[in-house]
């Protein structure tokens, strides 16, 4: 599991726009089978300061409830007719569902690359006592003001910055600033023509100083189709290979009298055996080790952090559920499985007669070609608890190709 930071913020991810300038709803366009909003989500969710995440969708969106059910700290709401309405809906949700976070970040899903170094700079600035922080880039072009067909004067670009998101605020400050612009009964914007152009402007208008930190060119906003094409080329070119290991062990136990189907599962295959397994779920050591190897590649905890044995709903659960979940996590991150390898260590049951069947089953569960799945077996040469036939174990390795996330 990710380590907790002393400073935490709730994160509003705005994905409710219509994409008029792009020509399509850009937040739902996919790169490597992953929608833009989820690319942004994957980039922020593992930052140690990120607590609760609220994704804001258009009212017409069909929601994948299973994704949110499996990620308890990620919630969704519907947005409003404008960006400001969507932010206000999210702020009211956080107000009504407090998470003990003192700060709120607001980010446009149209900026799907979120370098953690920018978030680190913001958190460091928060620690100095600032109530509002925004990432900025220096203006690289000369900016002029015109009247009619002529330039009236030139601005000093040394005093200009380009504003980015995420913008982070003390929760009370941003909620109060938005609240002043919305009618408490109708929830419509009061004096819409004077509504500021970004979240920081509301805070400024409320008399709160806004601090700036160095942003990143990686936070570029997707505005026109060429921006999307450039991002797609970049993400397709920028992959890295990761490898991680997993290990699981279970001891044998006597069958209970009422247990008439005396089979254990290894790598998704049921085998008759003289003893049962002492486990909270079905005790499939091969699949459990595989899950940990995959989570290791994703740097995303272990099987116990995703499926706690303290939760009754996972009692006697089919471990295939866990493996499908892990594979979906890879897909959500825009990754691809290159190889899954499992070694079963036991004296009994004999694995060789069913090794081909196990390999085929893992291939089916993970929707992988057979040549990307390896199953092996060995014994402990009658040494230790496995040599005494008191239990069995599995070691697994996963090799995954993942998009590189900018530091």
The answer on 171 and 202 residing in a single domain is: yes
The Cα 75–Cα 52 span in angstroms is 8
Same domain flag for 295 and 214: no
Q: What pLDDT sits at residue 235?
A: 76
* Confidence band, pLDDT 50/70/90 cuts, at residue 406: low
222 with 74, same domain: the answer is yes
User: How many residues can be counted in the chain?
Assistant: 407
Give yes or no: residues 119 and 178 share one domain: yes
Mean pLDDT of 137-149: 91
Output 122 or 34, whichever has higher pLDDT. Answer: 122
Q: pLDDT band for position 399 (50/70/90)?
A: very high
Please check whether residue 374 is in contact with residue 342, taking contact to mean a CB–CB distance below 8 angstroms: yes
Domain that holds residue 332: 239-403
Mean pLDDT of the chain: 89
Between 255 and 359, the higher pLDDT residue: 359
Q: What is the pLDDT of residue 276?
A: 79
> pTM score > 0.75 for this model?
no
**Residue 247 contacts residue 393 (beta carbons within 8 Å):** yes
Same domain membership, residue 228 and residue 87:
yes
How would you label 244-278 residue by residue, b for 16+ Cβ within 10 Å and e otherwise? Answer: bebebbbebeeeeeeeeeeebbbbbbebebebbbe
Beta-carbon contacts of 4 under 8 Å, excluding residues fewer than 6 positions away, are 48
Residue in the structure block whose two tokens are 């003390």: 170
My answer on whether 95 and 207 are in the same domain is yes
Q: What is the DSSP string of 304-327?
A: HHHS-TTSGGGTT--THHHHHHHH
Give the up-direction half-sphere exposure of residue 405: CA atoms within 13 A in the CB hemisphere: 22
Confidence of residue 258 (pLDDT cuts 50, 70, 90): confident
Q: How confident is the model at residue 404 (pLDDT cuts 50, 70, 90)?
A: confident
CATH number for 387: 3.30.1330.50
CATH number of the CATH domain containing 16? 3.90.550.10
Residue at 2 is within a domain: no
**What local confidence, expressed as pLDDT, does residue 407 receive?**
61
- Whether residue 156 is found in the same domain as residue 287: no
Kindly state whether residue 176 falls inside one of the protein's structural domains.
yes
**Pair (144, 115) in one structural domain:** yes
Looking at the 3D structure of the chain, how many domains does it have? 2
* Same domain, yes or no: 185 and 199: yes
């Amino acid at each position: 599991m990710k380590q907790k930071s002393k400073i935490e913020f709730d994160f509003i991810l705005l994905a409710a726009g219509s994409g008029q300038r792009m020509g399509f709803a850009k937040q739902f366009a996919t790169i490597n089978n992953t929608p833009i909003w989820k690319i942004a989500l994957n980039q922020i969710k593992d930052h140690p300061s990120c607590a609760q995440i609220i994704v804001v969708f258009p009212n017409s969106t069909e929601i994948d409830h299973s994704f949110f059910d499996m990620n308890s700290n990620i919630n969704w709401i519907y947005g409003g007719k404008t960006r400001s309405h969507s932010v206000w809906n999210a702020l009211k949700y956080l107000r009504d569902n407090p998470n003990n976070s003192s700060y709120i970040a607001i980010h446009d899903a149209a900026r799907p690359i979120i370098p953690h170094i920018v978030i680190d700079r913001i958190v460091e600035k928060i620690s100095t006592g600032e109530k509002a922080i925004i990432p900025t880039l220096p203006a690289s072009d000369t900016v002029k003001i015109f009247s009619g067909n002529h330039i009236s004067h030139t601005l000093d670009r040394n005093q200009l910055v380009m504003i980015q998101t995420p913008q982070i605020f003390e929760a009370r400050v941003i909620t109060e600033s938005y609240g002043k612009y919305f009618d408490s009964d109708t929830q419509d914007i009061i004096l819409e023509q004077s509504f500021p152009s970004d979240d920081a402007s509301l805070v400024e208008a409320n008399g709160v100083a806004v601090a700036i930190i160095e942003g990143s060119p990686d936070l570029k906003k997707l505005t026109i189709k060429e921006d999307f094409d450039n991002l797609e080329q970049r993400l397709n070119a920028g992959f890295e290979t990761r490898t991680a290991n997993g290990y699981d062990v279970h001891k044998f136990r006597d069958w209970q009298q009422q247990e008439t189907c005396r089979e254990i599962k290894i790598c998704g295959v049921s085998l008759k055996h003289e003893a049962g397994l002492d486990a909270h779920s079905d005790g499939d050591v091969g699949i459990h080790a595989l899950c940990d190897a995959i989570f290791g590649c994703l740097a995303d905890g272990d099987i116990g952090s995703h499926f706690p044995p303290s939760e009754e709903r996972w009692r006697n659960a089919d471990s295939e559920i866990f493996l499908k979940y892990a594979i979906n996590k890879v897909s959500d991150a825009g990754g691809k499985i290159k190889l899954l390898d499992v070694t079963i260590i036991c004296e009994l049951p004999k694995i060789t007669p069913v090794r081909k069947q196990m390999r085929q089953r893992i291939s089916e569960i993970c929707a992988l070609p057979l040549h990307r799945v390896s199953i092996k077996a060995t014994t402990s040469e009658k040494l230790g608890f496995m040599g005494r036939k008191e239990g069995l174990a599995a070691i697994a390795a996963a090799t995954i190709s993942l998009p590189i996330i900018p530091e």
